[in-house]
Structure 1
Amino acid sequence: MTDPELMSIGAFAKLAGLTASALRFYDDAGLLRPEQVAPLTGYRFYSASQVARAAQLRRLREIGMPLPAIGEFFTAGAEEAARLIDEQVARVTTEAAGVRQAAETLKASLGQEPRRTICVLPGPVLAAAVDQVLATTVHDPDAPVLSGVRLETDTGSVALTATDRYRLATRTLVPAEPAAGSWAGTLAGDDLRAMTSRLRRSRTVTIEAGERTLGIRTAGGTVLHCRLLTEDFPDHRLLLDSLPAVTHRVTAGKRQIVRALERWAPERAGLRVSGGRPSLLLPDQDEMALDGSATGPGLTIWFELTTLYPALSHAIGGDVLLDLRGPDQPATVRSADDGDLTTLVMPCRTPES
């Protein structure tokens, strides 16, 4: 006898948002067994308690999770299951970036888009610069240009700038050969992110500008294509020019601060200026004197770890300059070594507030 509370495969399929053929497939794959199978007819019957698992299975397939991983998902605890989802999203994101890059290459091959050589840069240096400024981008559906990187050249320098409107990073590079005049455009950050490993393996790269894409030619002759975004990039120069005057300047070793932040991983970290000396404040830890110097009267300023750490960890060279403007004004983190990197970071409230 079939339990009257059980549903036929057709009724269950409608409730679960799957087809009957898909349910048969998942049964054969061992992922969603029916509650009961009629011995004479082979008809499958399902219970209402299986709807949640069927819905999870449908969503896992929507994100492209392969069947073996789905089997692991259903036997895993919550933390492990979340990790499997994150790994699948990372795979899909990587694949999508590869598809976009291949699509741009195909479109570029359809016609000989006129290109102009802009400059020649060391590949590893460009890759590092891309990593440094990409930390300041954000994916905002209402402002897709904030996921991009502004590239500007003149005869003696190449500048990459990114901003999420709360932070700003500008990395200036010295070209291996003088740049061929001025050029400016906003590059798709996802495309840049996808090509950084190849840039690192090329001794030099030649930047070539077209109307729709930017070509980056490696030393081996391969051209990597990066989309040009058409939206207006925020006026970062206006932002920098409108900053209040600097009231304090701190010079400190980057490694000492970064190591402390990595070791203790506080939610917030403070910087104190007192008697011409800087120190680092970490909740529940003793005040740490920093190897460096400071100008200006006494000041304590706090930063979120997620804001301060990227600015310091991506700094170039061994030392950083921090230009401070008060506890509620943007601070500028500056570093220099074969070019320079400038990053704006916003302070936050004190841990007690």
Structure 2
Amino acid sequence: MESTANETRDDPGQQLLSIGEMARASGLTVSALRFYDGAGILLPVQVDPGSGYRWYGSDQRTEARLLARLRRVGMPLADLRLILAGWAGQDTALVGKLLDAHLLRLQDGLDDARRELSTVRDLLALREHQMPETADTAPVRLTLEAEALAAALDTVRFAVSTDPELPMLGGVCFDVDPEDRTLRLVATDRYRLALSQLPLDARSAPVARQVLVPAALVDAVRALLGSGGEAVLTLDLDRISLEAGGSQAGGSVLEHDFPDYRRLVRLAPGRRVPVDVPALRAALSTAEVHGSRRDQDGGDFDIAVLGVSPDGALTVVSREDRPADHFAVNREFLLDALAVTARDQLVLELGGPVAPLAIRLPDAEDGREDGRSLSLLMPVRLDDE
């Protein structure tokens, strides 16, 4: 290799390319070029003895581009060596046989993947139509304070998805937990999640029941709760109904399984920061926007960046002044989450720049460890990070 490098360096007609130039010319990354050098597949013609910097000959671009194509289709490392050797020696028969063998492997792998995924779909269909042996099919009747149920619905309604491709997120999950005598209301649109919990009094005899109530029916139920007093909520297997203030609303539930929200809200403990909600809302309304981003649903949103000051206060920061432990969020989503609680004091729990941001009630109002009210916002990664 040393003699080749020297000859190349002394050859005035040979143009040398830096590793970055070769990466741009071939479609391989710099790290991939280093890997293939170490594997003895594509060697640079010259390596600086002091810095270790690699230089490639301009005539190696063809081999590098070929290598990039083979890399994209997952060609095994051992075959790469043979193909490049055959390419250099114009051994078309060898190269053709290796390409055919790899194509056959890919076809076999695709057939295996189809069979496995088909089996998983069959198991999923069986699970969807299989009623648990312990399920109680009798209607579940709950007596609740109308005002408390209205507040709980307001706390989660904003997080319902409107994506028609995800019908399992197009409503509010009503989940009765008989062990701790709690009704949980949950909604999520992937980017945020809202949970509210209502304790059940002695008049209710709950059994486990979980139904997904479409957004339109949630709104109809909420409209009956403005007069206060008591409300009787009945959860059947395929429908719900509510009686309140002498009126009744009801309808069919969605025939979809809601995601396991308990896994989503099971967060590692983070730093808890008290928040003055009016001050934070005012700061968000006038703060610098850190660019706009298009989400997976095709909508544009503004990014706000938050940080914690040395004295422990939550602040809205600029791009230039953001601290190391900053985190970025969808500004509109954060404002929505702050508005629905109707509280002037909240607690933000920060688990890190890539962990969900949790918005909770203060401990004095919360009353239980896992929180009666909780909103989660997924963080946004800034373009320069």
Change (3 A) 1:308 1:351: farther
State the AA in 1 paired with 2:377.
V
- Counterpart position of 1:305: 331
**Residues of 1 paired with 2:354 and 2:233: CA distance?**
40
Residue 197 of structure 1 deviates from its aligned partner by 2.4
Whether the 8 Å contact between 1:204 and 1:218 is mirrored in structure 2 is yes
What letter is aligned with 1:162? Answer: A
CA distance in 2, matches of 1:281, 1:125: 32
3-state secondary structure, aligned to 1:200? coil
TM-score (norm 2): 0.53
Q: How does 1:126-137 map to 2 (within 5 A)?
A: 126-137=149-160
Which residue, out of 304, 309, 312, partners 1:277? 312
Matched AA of 2:375: T
2:175 counterpart letter in structure 1: E
Distance in 2, matches of 1:346 and 1:173, equals: 25
Aligned mates of 1:120, 1:259 — CA distance in 2: 39
Query: Matches of 2:261 and 2:321 in 1, distance apart?
Result: 38
Distance 1:351 1:198 in 2: 46
- 2:194 corresponds to which letter in structure 1? A
Distance 1:165 1:304, change over 3 A: closer
Compared CA separation, residues 284 and 233, structure 1 to 2 (3 A): closer
- Residue identity over aligned pairs, in percent, reads 27
Q: Which runs of 5+ in 2 are unaligned?
A: 1-136, 290-301
Contact 2:288 2:304 (8 Å CA) reproduced: no
RMSD: 3.0
SS in 2 for 1:280: strand
The amino acid that maps onto 2:376 is L
Give the C-alpha shift of residue 308 in structure 1: 1.1
What TM-score do you get using the length of structure 1 for normalisation?
A: 0.57
* Structure 2 residue 369 is the aligned partner of structure 1 residue 344: no
| Aligned partners of 1:115 and 1:208 also within 8 Å | no
How many residue pairs align between the two structures?
A: 228
Q: Is the 8 A contact 1:139 1:147 kept in 2?
A: yes
Of 331, 344, 349, the match for 1:323: 349
Distance in structure 1 (CA, Å) of the matches to 2:317 and 2:144: 40
Structure 2 residue corresponding to 1:192, chosen from 218, 221, 231:
218
Alpha-carbon distance between aligned partners in 2 of 1:338 and 1:277, rounded to the nearest angstrom: 21
Deviations 1:295-341 (A, max 9, x none): xx962112121221111112254321211121122111111647721
The answer (yes or no) to whether the contact 1:275–1:298 under 8 Å persists in 2 is: no
* Aligned position for 1:233: 258
Q: Check whether the contact 1:307–1:346 (CA below 8 A) recurs between aligned residues.
A: no
Matched residue, 1:150: 173
Cα distance in 2 for residues equivalent to 1:231 and 1:202: 32
The 8 Å contact of residues 140 and 206 in structure 2, kept in 1 or not, is answered as no
Secondary structure of 1:128's match? Answer: helix
In structure 2, C-alpha distance between the alignment counterparts of 1:260 and 1:215, rounded to whole Å: 42
Does the residue aligned with 1:180 lie in a helix, a strand or coil? coil
Match of 1:166 among 182, 191, 213: 191
- After TM superposition, list the pairs within 5 Å mapping 1:22-33 onto structure 2: none
CA contact (8 A) 1:332 1:345 kept: yes
Query: How far off is 1:278 after superposition?
Result: 1.8
SS at match of 2:280: helix
Asked whether the 8 Å contact 2:307–2:325 carries over to 1, the reply is yes
Using the alignment, how far apart are the partners of 2:262 and 2:378 within structure 1? 17
Superimposed CA distance per residue, residues 107-157 of structure 1 (whole angstroms, 9 cap, x where no aligned partner)? xxxxxxx97342111222212221221111112222212111111123532
Q: For the Cα contact (< 8 Å) 1:323–1:333, is it kept in 2?
A: yes
Structure 1 unpaired stretches of 5+? 1-113, 288-296
Is 1:249 the equivalent of 2:281?
no
Q: Contact (CA 8 Å) 1:268, 1:303: kept in 2 or not?
A: yes
Distance 1:310 1:265, change over 3 A: farther
Q: How far apart are the structure 2 equivalents of 1:249 and 1:318?
A: 16
| Alpha carbons of structure 1 residues 123 and 257: separation in structure 2 relative to 1, 3 Å | same
For the residue of structure 2 that corresponds to 1:185, the secondary structure is strand
8 Å CA contact retained: 1:119, 1:177: no
Aligned partner letter, 1:275: P
Contact 2:308–2:315 (CA under 8 A) maintained in structure 1: no
Which protein shows a greater Rg?
2
Aligned-partner Cα distance in 1 for 2:347–2:168:
29
SS in 2 for 1:201: coil
Give yes or no for contact 2:224–2:245 (8 Å, CA) kept in 1: no
Distance 2:154 2:373 in 1: 12
Separation in 2 of the partners of 1:334 and 1:189? 24
Q: 1:181 aligns with which of 186, 191, 206?
A: 206
